């Protein structure tokens, strides 16, 4: 497994807020099937690192390679379209929309990528997380 090509390779990543550098020279390799956890005290830079990988924050230095493709200045929308997702630590879902509508947003993206229509994706989600189906009316 350690010989396989990384799914995600981050090299020498630095991020600054204004003139203050908050993330210093971070490198990380994630190979197929691996679950990697980054731990550190408050303010260590975990959220900053994830934000910069996703394209939510600009990098001042460093390289992000996803599935062998360099992402020199990827926007968050492009990263999501490529299959990189960030689950926000705060309540950053669309709170004024229903759970179903939040899920449908993801389903539309999958349809665009050719992974089946909304109905198929929603069926898969509800099979994996049956609790979400409570109160679900889509397609009835
Ligand atoms: N928007 C911002 N503007 C300026 N400095 C910021 C901003 N966001 C974070 N920082 C600073 O960057 C550093 C890294 O913060 P970050 O939020 O990435 O840490 P974290 O490891 O996610 O912390 P926590 O465990 O509290 O979530 C901290 O010194 C923080 O004060
Ligand atoms: Mg954080």
**Each residue's pLDDT tens digit, 86-135:** 887 776 678 788 888 888 988 888 888 788 888 999 999 999 999 888 76
Q: Using the 8-state DSSP alphabet, how is residue 60 labeled?
A: S
Q: Are residues 13 and 77 in the same domain?
A: yes
Q: Are residues 116 and 66 in the same domain?
A: no
Q: What pLDDT shows up at residue 137?
A: 52
Q: Are residues 103 and 78 in the same domain?
A: no
Q: What pLDDT shows up at residue 139?
A: 47
Sign of the CA dihedral 20, 26, 32, 37?
A: negative
CATH for 43: 3.40.50.300
Ligand 1 contacts (CB < 6 A) are 17, 22, 40, 42-48
Q: Strand, helix or coil at 24? A: strand
* Atom 28 of ligand 1, nearest CA residue: 43
pTM: 0.82
Q: Are residues 56 and 116 in the same domain?
A: no
Q: What pLDDT shows up at residue 140?
A: 44
53 located within any domain = yes
2 located within any domain = no
Q: Are residues 111 and 53 in the same domain?
A: no
Instruction: Name, in order, each residue with C-beta under 8 angstroms of 44's C-beta and a sequence gap of 6 or more.
Output: none
- 45 Cα to the center of ligand 2, angstroms: 7
117 located within any domain = yes
Q: Are residues 50 and 112 in the same domain?
A: no
pLDDT surpasses 80 at 9: yes
State residue 4 phi and psi, 5-degree precision: -70, 160
Q: Are residues 112 and 61 in the same domain?
A: no
Return mean pLDDT, the chain: 88
Q: Quote the Cα angle for 99-48-42, to 5°.
A: 95
* Total number of domains in the chain: 2
Ligand in nearest proximity to the CA of 44 = 1
Q: What pLDDT shows up at residue 91?
A: 66
Q: Are residues 74 and 129 in the same domain?
A: no
Q: What residues make up the domain containing 128? A: 99-133
User: Are the C-beta atoms of 16 and 10 separated by less than 8 Å?
Assistant: no
Q: Per-residue pLDDT tens for 27-51? A: 999 999 999 999 999 999 999 999 9
Q: Are residues 70 and 114 in the same domain?
A: no
Q: What pLDDT shows up at residue 135?
A: 61
User: Are the C-beta atoms of 137 and 100 separated by less than 8 Å?
Assistant: yes
User: Are the C-beta atoms of 8 and 30 separated by less than 8 Å?
Assistant: yes
Q: Using the 8-state DSSP alphabet, how is residue 133 labeled?
A: G
88 located within any domain = no
């Amino acid at each position: 497994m350690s010989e396989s090509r990384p799914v995600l390779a981050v090299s020498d990543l630095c991020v600054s807020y204004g003139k203050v550098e908050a993330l210093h020279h971070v490198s990380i390799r994630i190979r197929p099937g691996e679950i990697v956890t980054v731990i550190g005290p408050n303010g260590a830079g975990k959220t900053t690192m994830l934000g910069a990988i996703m394209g939510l924050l600009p990098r001042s230095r460093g390289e992000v390679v996803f599935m062998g493709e360099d992402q020199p200045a990827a926007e968050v929308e492009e990263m999501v379209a490529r299959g990189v997702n960030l689950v926000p630590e705060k309540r950053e879902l669309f709170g004024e929309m229903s759970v179903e509508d939040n899920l449908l947003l993801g389903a539309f993206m999958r349809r665009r990528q050719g992974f089946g229509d909304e109905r198929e994706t929603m069926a898969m989600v509800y099979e994996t997380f049956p609790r979400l189906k409570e109160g679900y009316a889509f397609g009835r």
